[in-house]
Structure 1
């Protein structure tokens, strides 16, 4: 969860508080500003010296020359310092998406933040903030805060994604995520939307900060594209068999009305199969794509910390902001398409098949290791699971001991 609450404003998205999120240009400008503050002090001293009497003019002139030489030396020192920073700073830069929110949703985000504090067992206590005023202007929109806390049986992100992809998507879906190892319910939802004719575009990271993430992504992309290719070939064979069968027996049909009815249904289904959707994969280059964004049909979108992997679905504390607004969705789609055109490469099935044996083997191992580590069997190593079982046992023991007594006392109307 990435949440920041400042007075009546909230910030949420994928950006961490780290050096990776700061671009090199801004980093260097910041360092330059720190050095140039001393230069401004020197310039003020110059102005003071200029106001001296004519008798000290020669001395002021020499001071100005000395200061000018100092500025040149400082500029050279800054260039050397800039080069040293460039050498020292070798961390991978991140591409993130963040959003600023005002209104009633700020309180909901603050409640999620308090929940995170409780789950971290921190000694810091925060009281819930007051209700925020609702905005009624041209820039306002419908916002809902979604969260995931599996230990407390809160899965609003998972259920919303499953529902909106299966039932809400009719034209297109744009997905930007940093780690792609989707659980079963998300894979089934994607294929359900694909078979309805929805075009799906993925933007993944081609330079991940997690070892083995990119090879595992290659494996799951190959797995999905091969399944789509098999479906297409099977449909083509089916269409050829049915069309040949109809052409052979068309002249021998005794009941043309019934035949025309079934034949029209076949042609209708054939058109529907041809209009099936597409699924395209793109890998973001140079930087690590750390953004998490989902846009459905240019109307509904979400942004936050939820990744399309098993850790986010089954373990991590996550938060997403869902927005129902066409203007904001169009901005996210434009950002997605710009990154695809200028900073990404498309991955096709032929490229994945033609990789060498070592790359395929590494992808296979990375995928299955990631899949194994995301299974619920590893939750048994956590103390939280034991505490949950103990809490359930205490509650059930209390109900068994006191439930009948409480019911019998409530039934005694005459007492």
Structure 2
């Protein structure tokens, strides 16, 4: 056997490694605009031949962005509210703080594809114990249409009850459309889409690619949670349809969460987001009074939908968060299960504290993704140094998401403060202007803080060296988390 034959596969791997590294580096230089992330991927490609380029292929952010655009290429321009000539004022008060709030309203009106809506009402629902029965009741009362989108939708436990009620709705003549993220269906067995289809419900997976295509686009996830009944009542927030949310049933892995029942004109925006995603996946348009009836005011909350995703809506949510932090003059309150903000939002949080704004952040002490929790702790020192206060909530794991500014503005929805939510996932939040709603949300956070532990610089300094090394290692992978 010749030397060439003996070393054939070694040469093939070497050539593939060099070729893959060159292609990956060219792509990084030409397409990757986030310099911190680009530096991470460059180091990985250079120092881990073959493995680095493969990881970049599967997890590379810019590839995902182009994939998202390509996947939507068959659609027309997504629906947009016309931007009004005179942005909606949120107050007539001339104080400096109120002027900042009005400027934030104007900014959000331009960042978002939607415009502010008046006269909405929000009910806060705690855990699945409150949210799921209300959602099931709404499905039972449906007369015309049901739109349901979820990242995770289990076919067993509480999920089985949803399958049953959705099937009954179809038999009553209600038009039902259900969409579940393809990656989310893999969290449980059997897959719920098959169970829904067998029950007569029209259901689809979001981006149901397979094998290599699924690996390349596995981070393009629809993380939105939307239920709209008859186009008049909506449920949204961060809660998946899974047994773990039913805390009173003592599940094996309980999860605390908050969800919201919404009525009023902004329900049309929530429905529109679902309709876009449904057309995106199936080509079917959902239009007319069956899905979009005329809506009257039901409350006093001003709300605007913020749509975010790795396509034409890329980084809309972090821009909205940055604008809100920039407008803050008194207090910022954040609850998030995953706290890995990008450099811009980290700087904005620090500047808030430097300006004298009270910044409070609550995140779980024991994360359901430990690697994320370890990396998050390495970000604490920079925030604590300027006066931000950070708390960790005890188990069970808290999946709630809240963002409150000056006791007037609040963001509720599906977005986490991590790279996946802020750049990769398809997300949806509602930005709300209502002091009374903010007061109720602040009370929710205060109740959680009462049982939480404040993390100080002394606590971090007393962390064992082994844990600090572990956390530092996890920090290296923040761009890919």
Q: TM-score, structure 1 length as denominator?
A: 0.58
1:5 aligns with 2:228: yes
* Structure 1: runs of 5+ lacking an equivalent: 28-85, 229-277, 375-415
Q: Distance in 1 between matches of 2:312 and 2:279?
A: 12
C-alpha deviation, 1:131, in angstroms? 4.3
Q: Distance in 2 between matches of 1:103 and 1:331?
A: 19
Q: Of the candidates 296, 299, 305, which is equivalent to residue 134 of structure 1?
A: 296
1:218 aligns with 2:380: no
Partner of 2:364: 205
Counterparts in 2 of 1:131 and 1:311: CA distance versus 1, 3 Å? same
Q: Distance in 1 between matches of 2:409 and 2:228?
A: 24
How far does the alpha carbon of each residue in 1:105-150 deviate from its partner, in whole angstroms, 9 at most, with x for none?
Answer: 111101111233345x3476644622432316xx322111111023
Q: Distance in 2 between matches of 1:357 and 1:2?
A: 40
Q: Of the candidates 142, 162, 176, which is equivalent to residue 322 of structure 2?
A: 162
Q: After TM superposition, what 4+ stretches of structure 1 lie above 3 angstroms from structure 2? A: 122-128, 153-156
Q: Distance in 2 between matches of 1:158 and 1:336?
A: 22
How far does the alpha carbon of each residue in 1:363-406 deviate from its partner, in whole angstroms, 9 at most, with x for none?
Answer: 1111222x1315xxxxxxxxxxxxxxxxxxxxxxxxxxxxxxxx
Higher relative contact order (CA 8 A, sep 6+): 1
Aligned residue for 1:204, secondary structure, equals strand
Aligned residue for 1:282, secondary structure, equals strand
Partner of 1:97: 258
Counterparts in 2 of 1:359 and 1:122: CA distance versus 1, 3 Å? farther
Partner of 2:480: 373
Q: Give the RMSD, CA atoms, in angstroms.
A: 1.9
Say which is worse superposed, 124-133 or 278-287, in terms of deviation: 124-133
Q: Distance in 1 between matches of 2:284 and 2:364?
A: 35
Counterparts in 2 of 1:331 and 1:363: CA distance versus 1, 3 Å? same
Q: Is the 8 A contact 1:207 1:289 kept in 2?
A: no
Q: Distance in 2 between matches of 1:156 and 1:373?
A: 19
How far does the alpha carbon of each residue in 1:154-197 deviate from its partner, in whole angstroms, 9 at most, with x for none?
Answer: 5432222111111x211101000010110112112112211211
The structure that is helix-richer by fraction is 1
Aligned residue for 1:203, secondary structure, equals strand
Q: Is the 8 A contact 1:173 1:201 kept in 2?
A: yes
Q: Distance in 1 between matches of 2:246 and 2:285?
A: 30
Q: Is the 8 A contact 1:9 1:101 kept in 2?
A: yes
1:18 aligns with 2:18: no
C-alpha deviation, 1:217, in angstroms? 1.8
Partner of 1:339: 448
Q: Is the 8 A contact 1:116 1:317 kept in 2?
A: no
Partner of 2:468: 360
Counterparts in 2 of 1:107 and 1:155: CA distance versus 1, 3 Å? farther
Partner of 2:438: 329
C-alpha deviation, 1:96, in angstroms? 1.0
1:283 aligns with 2:395: no
Counterparts in 2 of 1:300 and 1:362: CA distance versus 1, 3 Å? same
C-alpha deviation, 1:219, in angstroms? 1.4
Q: Distance in 2 between matches of 1:158 and 1:134?
A: 31
C-alpha deviation, 1:199, in angstroms? 0.4
Aligned residue for 2:311, secondary structure, equals helix
Counterparts in 2 of 1:116 and 1:284: CA distance versus 1, 3 Å? farther
Q: Distance in 1 between matches of 2:409 and 2:384?
A: 26
Aligned residue for 2:445, secondary structure, equals helix
Q: Is the 8 A contact 2:360 2:389 kept in 1?
A: yes
Q: Is the 8 A contact 1:97 1:303 kept in 2?
A: no
* Structure 2: runs of 5+ lacking an equivalent: 1-223
Counterparts in 2 of 1:101 and 1:218: CA distance versus 1, 3 Å? same
| Residues 218-237 of structure 1: pairs in structure 2 closer than 5 A | 218-226=377-385, 228=386
Q: Distance in 1 between matches of 2:424 and 2:372?
A: 18
